[in-house]
Structure 1
Amino acid sequence: MKRTNALGALRMPVVLGWLVVTASGCTTETVPVPVPVQDDEEVLRDAAGTSASAVEAQVTGLEREPITEDVYHYSFLVKVGDTPNARIRVHRIVREDAPWRARPEAHAILLLHGDFATFDTNFAPSLTSAAAAPDQDLAVYLARRGIDVWGLDRRWTTAPKDGADFSDFAEMGVVQAVSDTGRALLFARSLRGLTGAGQDPLFLGGFSSGAQITYLYAAEETQKPPAQQHIKGIVPIDIYAKVAPEDEVSRQVACDAAAEERDLVAQGVVDSDNSAFFQPVAELAASAPADPSPFYDGYSNHEVFLGFVTQTYLFYEPKPKYHLIAGVFTDGAPSELRYAPEALINDWLAHSPPHQSLVEAADRDALWCGEAPLPLDDHLADITVPLFYLGAAGGFGDHGLYTTTVVGSTDVTTHVVRRLPADSEPEDFGHGDLLYAKDAPALAWEPLSQWLLAH
């Protein structure tokens, strides 16, 4: 699907926090683009309508592309600093009333992607995968139901595959991720205000590690004055922010992982290279499925791919028998995927951003471990906004319920998708099935959309 590049490199002074640019190419509409200030403790406009001070900002890319019917995808690449990878990409998927005119929906959510992923590959895979249709996009599903969907790609997703400068990766921990989430929320609220939808707070949601950052952002926001708070509710998808006391084994796994990751960082390793495993595992499974795997002796490329996504606990086990995707097993080995199209899952891995911050992973594992030093203080109990937890039986599932009892919210709804009996959980709905299974819309997205619209 062809994208319209409406901005080249553009640098303009931002007066009172607003940048207005004129889109070129297929339209002459004027597109207002608000750019958040560098310090997320400042606000462009608070509830009283106070304007922020003049700042300098840079939008280096704006793209608009059709998805289906009146649903369009906007993508804003925004510079947020002076280091090599100080860029975030903010997305918007929304129905239009006219070209470049988003419908002013009353409900809005900003979604955060998980590991080895971007907003597109998690929430709008039809933009990157020929195996996906818009009906298989969670973001499109919500947009069609009158929800203005926003997203954020974290800084590490913008690093190029070849020739990347990793000099700022050591700063890409959860503190920075939380701060950038605030920038994206401010950006979304500002642009919604300019396009007639008002500047009310948004829901904040995330999948996997994005859900952990959702909890962390919500907790940190409780320490700010009301005029600097941007969220009205949270939607963590299949994660825990705090490990339940009965899951001590899982907590210790996180402690061990955090120690190993911090040791690597101390040695100067800051890049978790997705092009070294996730991408080639998927690419080889598609291009040469029967050939011997270069990763595991005695297995074919296809067998390694199936084993990784359906028996993820052999590689990574945040809870017993955790797996990305549910599989069908024959003689104890995975033979096919149970609920999700294999080509779609293959593209999810193949389109992983090439690089990822190891520091962020170390921080997140350290927070699960709970042993000092921690990158952030624990303010989970101060969260009082409404919460909807969506889990998968074969993912974090029921193990994510404990966190919903730790927060201070009284409006809490939980929904764990379970397709099989408890003793078959190793083959049940997996972590990624919440986004990619053929019946995810009915089993997972409909309850989510109904909750959002009711709040």
Structure 2
Amino acid sequence: MNDIAFVVPSGVAPLAPSHPRTRAKRLAVMPVVLGLLAAAAGGCTTEMAPADDGEALQATAEASEALSATLVGKVTREQVVGDVYHYSYLLSVGKTPNARIRVHRVVREDAPKVPHPTSQSIMLMHGDFATFTTNFLPSRISAAAKPERDLAVYLAQRGLDVWGVDRRWTTAPAQGTDFSDFAGMGVAQAVSDTGLALTFARTTRGSKDRLFLGGFSSGAQLTYLYAGEESQKPLAERLVKGIVPIDIYGKISPADEALRLYACANAADEYDWVAQGYVDSDNSTFAQPLGALAASAPLGASPIFSGYTNREAMLGFVAATFLLYEPKPQYHLVAGVYKNGFPSTLRYSSEALVSDWLAHSPPHESMVETADRDAMWCGTGALPLADHLADISVPLYYLGAAGGFGDHGLYTTTLVASKDVTTHVVRRLPVASEIEDFGHADLLYAEDAPALAWAPLAKWLLAH
């Protein structure tokens, strides 16, 4: 493989031991910190009809009462494909300006607003610069995605009741946001909100059955953290029957000490920015234009990466992500095909879909949550949450991508107390070609993700 020719902005050392957000801030690439952690983008543009029948609202009201939460506006419902429908609930969960979470449901219906009975259900949590919709239901925001190729639809069609939760920062408006509560949007709050969403789902389902909890990228790290916290509760109070972390590590292997120190440096930088008042990662100045310009003006000069076209900038970022963020060697969001040392096209996922993924990022994101997650990986000093990883005893299914966190996520699965652990890392190329192998977000967007990743996952879920 030739040397990488993609050049990051002038003055940036590609593998410098500091977070990409921090480096970008120093260089004034954007006014607020870059959101470069691996994930998929956010925002749903589809108009949905209100599901305002008495039965649906009564169930929602009961669930909200159980949570001490308030339904904001009407429940919305839209047909996705065939008998699969998508419900969306916006819940107020506090008194601060952005104390809202959005809960989603994707389920088959036997009749209008009558969900098909299911014995298995799962709550999915999105990653950075993302929402449930853009990670697990991308056909709602991209013409390049087909409903049958959405992970949420795939699982629903196979008999699962699929739920999701959008974290508080995803609901902040693009303009006029009051950021006074962003400094409180750390992992402790995210874990607490996950419990609210799980309770809401179980109450709305009208079942005492526990749910699986799964997450992609940072949502997978929160999955580990939630399961650890819940392990400290009496069995009767637990909501989760098994966990599905998708391409992440919960703890870094001793063999990867350099990666742990990298996380420590990132956490220190990020907490420093929070202390200086930079509590928001402004996706509208990086991820959104990176994707939008690649689609609308691919041959135009990139305003983000000097000397590259908009298309080249997008390809370089997603296929050579490790130049800006390297949680493991040659980490990349999406696999590219390299020509003369530069990714010339994407190998497994559609460029149009990837561009839409970036372009539909939610405008804002919590910096302190990122700092907290890096601090948990660092594992030293005062941690935002206690480490209860070793107390997790529920069944676990780890799904990884060779070019993402991949094999580096396997160590975490050896630390839990569960005797029921299954791992599956999608690898399509020899280790020597890992720079072009299945990427982090290819697990969600690749043409062959259903066959390579989703089918074994669905089989495991339905067997449990």
> What TM-score, normalized by structure 1, do the two folds share?
0.90
Equivalence map 1:27-42=2 (5 Å): 32-34=59-61
How much does 1:22 deviate?
2.6
Equivalence map 1:370-409=2 (5 Å): 370-409=379-418
Q: Quick one: distance in 2 between partners of 1:56 and 1:361?
A: 26
**What is the match of residue 48 of structure 2?**
3
How much does 1:2 deviate?
3.4
Q: Quick one: distance in 2 between partners of 1:428 and 1:204?
A: 27
Q: Quick one: distance in 2 between partners of 1:119 and 1:277?
A: 20
How much does 1:80 deviate?
0.3
**What is the match of residue 228 of structure 2?**
219
How much does 1:5 deviate?
2.8
Q: Quick one: distance in 2 between partners of 1:301 and 1:61?
A: 39
In structure 2, what residue type is equivalent to 1:3? M
**What is the match of residue 95 of structure 1?**
108
RMSD: 1.4
Q: Tell me the secondary structure at the aligned position of residue 169 of structure 1.
A: helix
In structure 2, what residue type is equivalent to 1:430? G
Q: Quick one: distance in 1 between partners of 2:135 and 2:310?
A: 24
For residue 230 of structure 1, the aligned residue among 239, 250, 256 is 239
Equivalence map 1:346-361=2 (5 Å): 346-361=355-370
In structure 2, what residue type is equivalent to 1:309? V
**What is the match of residue 121 of structure 1?**
134
How much does 1:35 deviate?
5.3
Cα-to-partner distance string for 1:338-387 (whole Å, 9 max, x where unaligned):
00011011111111100000000000000001111110011000000000
Cα-to-partner distance string for 1:286-318 (whole Å, 9 max, x where unaligned):
111111111122111111100000000001000
**What is the match of residue 178 of structure 1?**
191
Cα-to-partner distance string for 1:107-136 (whole Å, 9 max, x where unaligned):
100000000000000000011111111121
Distance 1:444 1:250, change over 3 A: same
In structure 2, what residue type is equivalent to 1:223? Q
**What is the match of residue 271 of structure 1?**
280
How much does 1:31 deviate?
5.3
In structure 2, what residue type is equivalent to 1:2? E
Q: Quick one: distance in 1 between partners of 2:61 and 2:353?
A: 35
Return 5+ residue gaps in structure 2 as ranges: 1-45
> Does the CA-based 8 Å contact 2:69-2:94 persist in structure 1?
no
Q: Quick one: distance in 1 between partners of 2:182 and 2:445?
A: 30
Q: Quick one: distance in 2 between partners of 1:358 and 1:370?
A: 18
Q: Quick one: distance in 2 between partners of 1:334 and 1:162?
A: 35
**What is the match of residue 22 of structure 1?**
54
In structure 2, what residue type is equivalent to 1:367? M
> Does the CA-based 8 Å contact 1:34-1:190 persist in structure 2?
no
Q: Quick one: distance in 1 between partners of 2:341 and 2:373?
A: 33
**What is the match of residue 164 of structure 1?**
177
How much does 1:102 deviate?
0.7
Q: Quick one: distance in 1 between partners of 2:210 and 2:190?
A: 19
After TM superposition, the runs of 4+ consecutive aligned structure 1 residues lying more than 6 A away are none
In structure 2, what residue type is equivalent to 1:201? R
Distance 1:37 1:62, change over 3 A: closer
Return 5+ residue gaps in structure 1 as ranges: 8-20, 24-28, 39-43, 45-51
How much does 1:428 deviate?
0.1
When the two structures are aligned, how many residues end up with a matched partner?
A: 419
Q: Tell me the secondary structure at the aligned position of residue 167 of structure 1.
A: helix
**Higher relative CO (CA 8 A, sep ≥ 6), structure 1 or 2?**
2
Q: Quick one: distance in 2 between partners of 1:157 and 1:111?
A: 15
> Does the CA-based 8 Å contact 2:227-2:240 persist in structure 1?
yes
**What is the match of residue 155 of structure 2?**
142
How much does 1:61 deviate?
3.5
> Does the CA-based 8 Å contact 1:61-1:78 persist in structure 2?
no
For residue 294 of structure 1, the aligned residue among 291, 303, 312 is 303
How much does 1:209 deviate?
0.1
> Does the CA-based 8 Å contact 2:69-2:93 persist in structure 1?
no
**What is the match of residue 60 of structure 1?**
73
Distance 1:66 1:108, change over 3 A: same
How much does 1:445 deviate?
0.1
Asked if residue 339 in structure 1 is aligned to residue 371 in structure 2, the reply is no
> Does the CA-based 8 Å contact 2:63-2:204 persist in structure 1?
no
Q: Quick one: distance in 2 between partners of 1:303 and 1:139?
A: 31
Asked if residue 207 in structure 1 is aligned to residue 239 in structure 2, the reply is no
Q: Quick one: distance in 2 between partners of 1:207 and 1:244?
A: 20
**What is the match of residue 249 of structure 1?**
258
Q: Quick one: distance in 2 between partners of 1:34 and 1:425?
A: 50
In structure 2, what residue type is equivalent to 1:287? S
Q: Quick one: distance in 2 between partners of 1:376 and 1:139?
A: 30
**What is the match of residue 14 of structure 1?**
none
> What TM-score, normalized by structure 2, do the two folds share?
0.88
How much does 1:328 deviate?
0.5
How much does 1:58 deviate?
3.5
Cα-to-partner distance string for 1:72-117 (whole Å, 9 max, x where unaligned):
0000001101111000000000000111111111010000000000
In structure 1, what residue type is equivalent to 2:105? R
Q: Quick one: distance in 2 between partners of 1:90 and 1:73?
A: 11
How much does 1:153 deviate?
0.2
How much does 1:30 deviate?
6.1
Asked if residue 419 in structure 1 is aligned to residue 451 in structure 2, the reply is no
> Does the CA-based 8 Å contact 1:392-1:418 persist in structure 2?
yes
Distance 1:260 1:144, change over 3 A: same
